[in-house]
Amino acid sequence: MKEIFKSYAKYYDIIYADKDYEKECDFLEEIFRNYSKITPKTILDGGCGTGGHAIPLAKRGYEVTGVDLSEEMINIAKEKAKENGVNIDFRVMDLRELRLNKKFDVCILMFAVIDYIINTKDLLKVFANIRETLKNDSLFIFDFWYGPAVLTILPTPRMKTLERRV
C-alpha cells in the first residue's frame, strides 16, 4: 500500500483541487455540535494525506495530530501547514501500528481511509488502536464507500485534464 502513494503524492492536491475540504470541515463541526458530549479541542486525523482536513481544522482552533502511512504525503502536509501558518503534529504512521502518547476528543478518518484496510484482522487492530487514543465521551468519525451503491451505479470512464504552472 505504501508504494502506491510514493509517486501519487505529488499529484494528489492537483487531482483533488476541486474537493471542498472547508465544507467537509463545516460538516464535521456540525457533527461535533450535535453528537459530542464535550467541546472537542484535540483531533486525530488518521490517514491525513496532504492535510486537506487537518489544516482547515487547525485554522479553526483545534489542536490536530495527523498520521499517514505515506512519508511523501506527510512531507507535503508539513509544507502546506507551514505555508498556512498552523502548527500540526504530522507523523508517518500506520493505523495498524498506531501508538501515540496522547488522548484525543475526536478521531476522523476521512475520504474513505477505512476502505484501505482490507482484511478483518487489520480492521479490528485499527479500531482497537483508535479506541486507545480516544478519551471517554469522544467521537470517532469515518466515511466509507457503500458497496451496494458502488455495484449499482457502476463507474464510467472519466477523463480529467489538469494543469499546474510552476
The single-letter DSSP state of residue 116 is G
Q: Alpha-carbon distance 133 to 96, whole Å?
A: 13
Q: Alpha-carbon distance 53 to 50, whole Å?
A: 9
Q: Which CATH number fits domain 4-152: 2.40.110.10, 3.40.50.150, 3.60.15.10, 3.30.390.30?
A: 3.40.50.150
Q: Are 105 and 41 in contact (CB under 8 A)?
A: yes
Q: What pLDDT digit, counting tens, does each position of 98-154 carry?
A: 999 999 999 999 999 999 999 999 999 999 999 999 999 999 999 998 778 777 877
pTM, two decimal places: 0.92
Q: What pLDDT digit, counting tens, does each position of 101-111 carry?
A: 999 999 999 99
